[in-house]
Amino acid sequence: MEFDLEYNSDRSHLIIPEYGRHIQKLIDYCVKIEDDAERDKMAKAIIDVMGNLQPHLRDVPDFKHKLWDQLFIISDFKLNVTPPFGKITKEVFDEKPEPLAYPKSATKYKFYGTNIQTMIDTALTWEEGEQREALYFAIANHMKKCYLNWNNDTVDDAVIYKHLMDLSNGKIDLEPLHEELAESRNLLRKRKTNTKQQHQKNKKYNYSKK
């Protein structure tokens, strides 16, 4: 008695392992079907099976489109059927994405975040007057709050003024005005209050789910 054993080492490479060996064999068989109508009918049936194997993708936009793309990928783009969506080609699939440019807005004061530079640049476009000066101090107070989030210790206003001066390329100098920013303890207290309120809110929400 002889057994026709098939070893994994002798099998073809699984292109998308999530669908398993049987789906790949069905697609290989579908590629060889000569009748166009019969081949198209089987391709649609395979798509239905693939959808059942990946139920978590049903909420993904263009769910069917993704399945058809995967069908052509598994067939090594040899399947000759007309999908309801555009047919993906091997050239498009092999095309490498353009490299992402390194952010040019990087600053040595990373603890202020990336948006602070946008705020400063916008403030500099305002007309000179009380409103622009008030915006400068609002930005400075926000920077002080960010600094305290990074370092729980107190910070001197002169440090914030110097950082603001650096980030604005010397265009915003608040130190000669001799105005004091919000006290560190008030900013820290406000942050702790917000954290406590959020914790209570999350606790109440989790309790309501039980």
Is the same domain home to 129 and 88?
A: no
Structure tokens at 8: 């994994």
Dihedral sign, CA of 164, 170, 171, 173?
positive
Segment 70-92 shows an average pLDDT of: 91
In the chain, the number of structural domains is 2
pTM (two decimals): 0.49
Bigger pLDDT: 110 or 28? 28
Bigger pLDDT: 193 or 86? 86
Is the same domain home to 20 and 73?
A: yes
Is the same domain home to 16 and 90?
A: yes
Structure tokens at 195: 């954290």
Beta-carbon contacts of 163 under 8 Å, excluding residues fewer than 6 positions away, are 109, 112, 143
Question: What is the domain range of residue 135?
Answer: 110-186
Instruction: Write the CA distances from 104 to 100, 117, 119, 162, 171, integer angstroms.
Output: 12, 11, 16, 22, 20
**Residue 88 included in any domain:** yes
Segment 156-181 shows an average pLDDT of: 90
Here the contacts of 204-209 (C-beta below 8 Å, separation 24 or greater) are: none
Are the beta carbons of 166 and 107 closer than 8 angstroms? no
**Residue 193 included in any domain:** no
Segment 72-90 shows an average pLDDT of: 90
**Residue 104 included in any domain:** no
**Residue 37 included in any domain:** yes
Percent of the chain with pLDDT over 90: 40
Q: Cβ–Cβ contacts within 10 Å for residue 123, how many?
A: 19
| pLDDT tops 50 at residue 205 | no
**Residue 29 included in any domain:** yes
Bigger pLDDT: 188 or 105? 188
Is the same domain home to 114 and 88?
A: no
The distance in angstroms from the start CA to the end CA of the chain is 61
Percent of the chain with pLDDT over 70: 83
**Residue 102 included in any domain:** no
Here the contacts of 31-38 (C-beta below 8 Å, separation 24 or greater) are: 31/75, 31/78, 31/79, 31/80, 36/80, 36/81
* Among 84-88, 130-134, 188-192, the range of highest mean pLDDT: 130-134
Can you tell me the distance from the alpha carbon of 155 to that of 185, in angstroms, rounded to the nearest whole number?
10
**Residue 191 included in any domain:** no
| pLDDT tops 80 at residue 194 | no
